[in-house]
Amino acid sequence: MHAPLGQNRKAGKRPNILRIGRIAASLCLITIGGFSLYTMLSDDGLQPTRPPLADQAASPPTDTVQPAPTQSQTANGMSRSDPHSGANIERMVTGDGSVVTKYSPRPRDDKGPALVDAMQVGQDPRMAAMPNESLLEDSPFGRLPVIGPDGRRPMDQYARPWSGARGTRVAIVVSGLGLSQTGTQRAIKELPEEVTLAFAASGNSLQRWMQEARRSGHEILLQVPLEPFDYPANDPGPGTLLTSKSPAENIENLHRAMAKITNYTGIMNYLGGRFLSNPDAMEPVMRDIGKRGLLFLDDGSSAQSKTDAVAKGTELAHAFADLQLDGQVDVNAILHRLDELERVAKRNGQAIGVAAAFDESIEAISKWSEEAGMRGIEIVGVAALAADAKNP
């Protein structure tokens, strides 16, 4: 009672606890400091790329090409191709020190299979005026169409793509292009791109017109002159295929015509009533057309035509025109024939109409085509309607 509180007590353990705490704190600080120093000095691969020296920044970028990675083995022993196999890898160090990587294909060594999209129809619009070089072969007359090494046919490569719907389809072919410069120019400029254009082999500046037509989206055919019944009073022109000529002579004239242009899906007759009625004259010619991967369009002008029988015997893709649209060269008359063509198409599912490149024909076809889609009519290239034994 006479002593102040807290005096004359026995010394406790508190000073020892404080001493131990100070030692532990010191050890922690030493440990943290040592770890920080270690991480600063060690290379963990996460450090940022050092900027280039001044003299390096002034030097031009350098390219390095690395070999493509090889195939790796999976767990079951099967080989699996690396995502970048078959490619050259180029890494470019730019002036600011960043790295740009570029991948480009390496040439094939022709070993092993190559995947080819054999079902592709049509041509990239950006390249439509340029021929596929693998679908051409050299001849004494120029370059001729041929089936490519992958089996692709010109009639597939240069066909105008369509929806694939099995609705009512109409193909319209405007022929005689190349004979008149103004008529040809107007047809290419004013006709809808869905309309197929047929160029006469005896026309002028055909390669130029072909390129313009293809750039405008048109599928094209080549018209070859064939012997009519009233030949020579009615002469289709030089290089006409005649029933009196040998197969070799007719095929030579066919090749002369074929070499005039490229990028066409098939051959269309120009006149030819007598020739088309003679199977012996037709067979070697149609066989040559078929083996080159082309179709044949019969304009339907001859009731005695043997095209169907010969084409089936040679497995030639072929088609027939259902109506001549401009027998009467008058806009209203042609519009009536187009309406009739539409009725045929709705009855049969499809129909083909042909016309010449008259101003009246171009005007009527353009006008009719504007409203055809609203009536459920799809205008397609003629290749879409060809009877094809290889693609039924």
What are the extents of the domains in the chain?
61-68+86-104, 132-385
Cβ contacts of 31 within 8 Å, gap of 6 or more: none
Q: How large is the average pLDDT for residues 119-148?
A: 87
Adjacent-strand bridge partners of 198: 221
Q: Which residue has the tokens 């963990």?
A: 44
Give me Rg for the CA atoms of the chain.
Answer: 38
Closest Cα partner for 351 from 173, 113, 95, 118? 173
Whether 32 has a pLDDT exceeding 80, the answer reads no
How many Å apart are CA 320 and CA 171, to the nearest integer?
11
Out of 111-125, 191-205, 219-233, which region has the weakest mean confidence (pLDDT)?
A: 111-125
Res 1: pLDDT: 44
Per-residue pLDDT at 40 exceeds 50: yes
Give the Cα separation of 207 and 310 in Å (integer): 31
Distances (CA, A) of 64 to 91, 92, 93, 103: 6, 7, 9, 12
Q: What is the mean pLDDT of the chain?
A: 82
Nearest to 207 by CA among 269, 295, 130, 289: 130
pTM for the model: 0.70
pLDDT at 249 over 70: yes
The CATH number assigned to the domain with range 132-385 reads 3.20.20.370
pLDDT higher than 60, residue 186: yes
DSSP state for residue 42 in the 8-state scheme: S
Does residue 24 carry a pLDDT above 50? yes
